[in-house]
Structure 1
C-alpha cells in the first residue's frame, strides 16, 4: 500500500515536471566536434518546425576586445531557402560545389541561416493550415526561434545581431526587427540588435512595378507600346492596393510580369542586361518550373538545373543528398524545398503589402538601417528602392537626400564599384555591376560593406 502511494506520488511529480522541461527538450540540434557549426529545429508552434544553421567565424580571434558580430541571413521568395541559396550560393563558407568561398561573409561575422517561414527549405509543417499568411506571423515565428537559440547561450547574447535580408526577405526583416525589439523590451528575448540591412528588398511593391516600364524603356529593352501596357497595369495595381485588394494586386503583378516578359523578349528580372535564364542563381527552380510564368519572383525557390549527382553544382541534389546526410536530423519524409510552393501561395494576401512604415518605425527607434541595391536588378530595382526611401517620414530623410555620395573601390583599384552615403542611422549603398544577387555579382564590395555594417576590421587569413 505504501509503495503504491509512493509510485502514485512520483507519477504526479513526473507529469508535473515534464511540461516544465519540455521546452528544453524540444529543440532538436546537433553540432560539429570542433564547435564551428551547429544546427537544429525549433518547434515555433505545435507541428510547425523551423530549421536553423549557425557558423562560427574562424577569422575572429577569441581574444578580440570586440564582441563577435552575428549575421542572420533571411532569403526571399517567399519560399526560398536561406540555408540553401544564401548559404551555398551567396555568402556561406562553401559554394554549391562544396569548394571554399574566398568571399564568405564569415570573414566579418558569425553566420546564422534560417529557413523562414515554416515550409521553406528544411523547415516544414505537419499541417498546411499552419503555414503563415502574413509577414507579421512570420516575424512571430522567427522571434520564437531567436528566443530558443539565444536565451540558451550566454555567449551569443553578448554578440550584436545584424539582420541581413535579400528580396522578399526584407519584409521579414523589418517585421522581425520590430517583433524582436518588443520581445527584448519585455525581457522575453536576450539579444542585442545591431542593425538591419535590406538588400534589393521588396519593401514597396507599388514603387517597383511603377519603375519597371520606364527603366526598361530607358535602356531600350521595351518600346513605347510596352511602356504603355506596363504603366496601365502598374496603375491598376496601385488602385487595388489603395482599396486593400492585396490578392487581386498579386494577380495583376503576375499579369504585369508576363507583359514585361513579352514586350522585352524575356528580360531577366534579376539582371536587365540579360535574357531570362542566363543568371545562374535565378535558375533555382525545379518543382515549380511549370509555374515560372506566374511566379517568376519565386523562380529561384528550389534548385539550380543540372544532373542529379551530389557535388556537381546542382543545389537541389546537394541539399537532398550530401547535406541532408551530414546534418542527420532532417526527417526522412522532409525534402528540401518540398513545401516551397505552398509558402508562396499562403502569403499571396500579404505579398504586395508595403512595409515602408516599419522601416520608418525602426529608424525612429534608432535602429541602424542599411539599404543596398544592385545597379542592374529589375525586380527590386534601384529606381524603385530610391522611390520608397524618398517617401520615408523619418525626420532625417531630407538631410540624407541632400547629401553627396562617396565612391566605393575594391582591392586598391581605382575603378568605381559603387557609391554610398549615410546620415545618422540610415545608410545607402549603390552597387555597380550587380543584379539582384549582390554578394554573387560584386563579392568584394559586398564584403567591404558588411565590414562597415558590423564595424568589423577582421584581417583576412
Structure 2
C-alpha cells in the first residue's frame, strides 16, 4: 500500500491542452493521465479529464460536480463513451472528429476512466488481470483517491465535491459494487484522509440482477418477434435453470440465441443491442472500428502523451483495442452475480439512483429493469411505487424524449428511440437527462393518465377474490335473514292448524294435560326454524362451492 501511495505522489505534473489532431475547437481545458493501482504488476489506470463548459453563464467548472463515466464489457474502454456517446468529442461516419454539442461537459466536469487494468489505454504486466469484482472495486478506489489528490479542486475540507458515477451495461455491476466499497472505506477513512461523497449514480441499460434479466422472451414477445407459445417454451427452459441457481447455463444463453436465430433475415442477424437493426452486433455503433484506427494513429498517440500528467512506462505505447478479451474472460463468472443488494444499500443510504434504458435494447431491456426494480425493498419503495408516471419532453422537441417515474431517491426512465447506448442514439435527450438529474430538476412534463397499481397478477387475483368474498358474505347474511323471516311467517300461519289438530288428537286419545300445549308449540316452532336454518346452510355451502369453482 505504501509503495502505491509513493507511486501516486510521483504522478504530479503540469496539464496542458491537447494539440490539434482533429480535436481542435474545444473550449474546455482537458488532460490525460495514469494512476497506479498495482505497483507489483505495473497496473496503471488511464483517465481523460474535461473541465465543464456550461452554456449557462451562471455556472462554472469550479462549482459543478464531477461525473465519472465507466464503460461496460467487462473490459471495454470508456473512450467509446468519450468519442461515440457523451464525451466532448464526436466521431462521425467518415472517421473525422469534431466537438460534440451534446457532450456531458455541458452539465458537469467529466472524467472518463479505462478500468479494470488492461482495458483500453490502461495497462498491466504479467497478465495480472483482475479476476473478481472485489479486486476491481479496490483498484477503482485507489484510482479515485490518487486522482482526487492530484485534483484538490474537488476536495472540500474533509469531504469531496459531489461526485456522480455514470455508466452502462456491465457498469450495472461496477457502480453498485464500487459504491459499497467506497462506503466501507469512508467508514475507515483509509488510505485517504477525506470522505468521498457519492451524491448519485446513473446506470444505463445496466446488468444488475441476472435472475430476471437472463430471460428475454417476454420482451421479444412484446415486440412481436416470437409467439406466446414460443415465449412459454423459452421461459420454462431458462427459468428452471435460474431457479436452481445455475445462472451461467446453456439454456439461458440459448434463450437469446434462439430468439435471434428465429428472426434473422438470411445471413443477417437481429442486433440485440438495437432491435431496429440487422447486422453484426459488434459493429454497434458503426464507428467503433474507426475509433480503434484513430486512437492508434501515431500523431494522436503523440498528442495524448504530450499532455499526460505522467509517463510511467517509456517506449512505444501498447496498441489500443476498444475491448480487451482477456479482461472479459477473467471476469466472466461475475455475470451471474446479482448486485441488487448493493443497489438497495445505495438507496437506503440516501444515494440518488437513476436507472435508464433505451427503448429498443433487448440485451438489458426496459422490461427486465422494471422487474428488478419491483424486487427492491428500501424504505422509499412505497413513495416510488405511488408516484405518477410522466412523459418527458425536450424544449426543442414535439415528440416525447422518454417516460419517467420518480419517487423517493429512485428515478427510472425509458428513453425513446434509443438502443443499448443511449447517449449515442439520443444525444440531446441524454444531455437533458443528466442535467435534470444531477441538478435535481423535475422530469414531470406531461402526466400520464393511467395510475400505478402496486401488485402483480397473483395479488390482483387475490384482490378479486377478497372483493368476491365480501359480496358472498353479504349475500349469505341476507339469505339467512330471509330464511329466519320465512320460518317465522310459516310458523304464524301454521300455528292455529297445529294447535287445533293437537287438541283433537288429545280429545280422541283421552286427553292430555293442556298445560303442555305451550311447550309443544315451542317444540314445533324450534323444529320448523331449525329445519329451515339447516336448509339455508346447505344452500349457502353449495353457493360457496360454486363460487370457488367460478374463481378457479
Fold similarity call, TM over 0.5 = yes
Report the count of equivalent residues.
406
The counterpart of 1:315, out of the listed 287, 291, 295, is 291
- CA contact under 8 A between 1:77 and 1:344: conserved in structure 2? yes
Name 1:135's counterpart in structure 2.
Answer: 133
Provide Cα deviations, 1:9-44, integer angstroms capped at 9, x if missing partner: xxxxxxxx9998544115788542898112211121
The reply on whether 1:32 has 2:17 as its aligned counterpart is yes
Q: How much does 1:278 deviate? A: 7.5
How many Å separate the matches in 1 of 2:5 and 2:413?
Answer: 47
- Tell me how large the CA RMSD over aligned residues is: 2.8
Q: Judge conservation of contact 2:4–2:37 (CA < 8 Å) in 1.
A: no
1:347 Cα deviation from its structure 2 partner: 0.6
Stretch deviating more after TM superposition (424-433 or 226-235): 226-235
Rate the CA distance shift 1:323–1:256 in 2: closer, same or farther, 3 A.
Answer: farther
Alignment partner for residue 35 of structure 2, among 24, 27, 42?
A: 42
Answer yes or no: is the 8 Å Cα contact 2:356–2:412 preserved in 1: yes
Asked if 2 retains the 8 angstrom alpha-carbon contact of 1:377 and 1:435, the reply is: yes
Task: Give structure 2 stretches of 5+ with no counterpart.
Answer: 19-26, 306-310, 442-552
Q: 1:64 to 1:31 in 2, by over 3 A?
A: closer
Residue-by-residue CA offset, 1:297-354 (whole Å, 9 max, x unaligned): xxxxxx33xxxxxxxxx01101111432221257525111287000110011111211
2-side partners of 1:456 and 1:323: how far apart?
A: 38
1:180 aligns with: 182
Q: Does 1:204 align with 2:197?
A: no
The structural deviation recorded for 1:239 is 3.7
Q: Distance in 1 between matches of 2:427 and 2:4?
A: 47
1:389 equivalent among 373, 378, 382: 373
Matched, 1:344 2:333: no
Provide the TM-score with structure 2 as the length reference.
Answer: 0.68
Q: Deviation of residue 383 (structure 1)?
A: 0.4
- Displacement, 1:411? 2.5
Q: How far off is 1:224 after superposition?
A: 5.0
Quick check: 1:192 aligned with 2:164? no
Kindly provide the CA deviation profile for residues 404-427 of structure 1, in whole angstroms up to 9, marking residues without a partner as x: 112111134342221222222111
Of residues 110-119 and 40-49 in structure 1, the stretch that sits farther from structure 2 once superposed is 40-49
Work out whether residues 29 and 38 of structure 1, in 8 Å CA contact, stay in contact via their aligned partners in 2. Answer: no
Contact kept? 2:380, 2:409, Cα under 8 Å: no
Partner of 1:155: 153
Change (3 A) 1:449 1:38: same
Deviations 1:126-146 (A, max 9, x none): 022x21222222111111000
User: Residues 71, 274 of structure 1: CA spacing in aligned structure 2 closer, same or farther, 3 A cutoff?
Assistant: same
Residue 118 of structure 1: CA displacement? 1.2
State how far apart, in whole Å, the 2-side matches of 1:178 and 1:18 are: 25
Aligned to 2:344: 360
**Highest Rg: 1 or 2?**
2
**Which residue is equivalent to 1:13?**
none
**Following the alignment from structure 2 to structure 1, what is the Cα–Cα distance between the partners of residues 263 and 14?**
48
In 1, are the aligned partners of 2:53 and 2:60 still within 8 Å (CA)? no
- Whole-Å separation in 1 of the counterparts to 2:407 and 2:117: 36
Q: How does 1:11-410 map to 2 (within 5 A)?
A: 21-25=6-10, 31-32=16-17, 36-46=29-39, 47=41, 48-59=43-54, 64=60, 67-82=63-78, 84-96=79-91, 97-128=96-127, 130-158=128-156, 159-188=161-190, 189=192, 190=194, 191-210=196-215, 212-224=216-228, 226-239=230-243, 242=245, 245=246, 248-249=248-249, 252-265=251-264, 266-277=269-280, 281-283=284-286, 303-304=288-289, 314-321=290-297, 322-328=299-305, 329=311, 332-337=316-321, 340-410=324-394
Matched position secondary structure for 2:143: helix
Structure possessing the higher relative contact order (Cα contacts under 8 Å, 6 or more residues apart): 1
1:438, CA displacement in angstroms?
Answer: 0.9
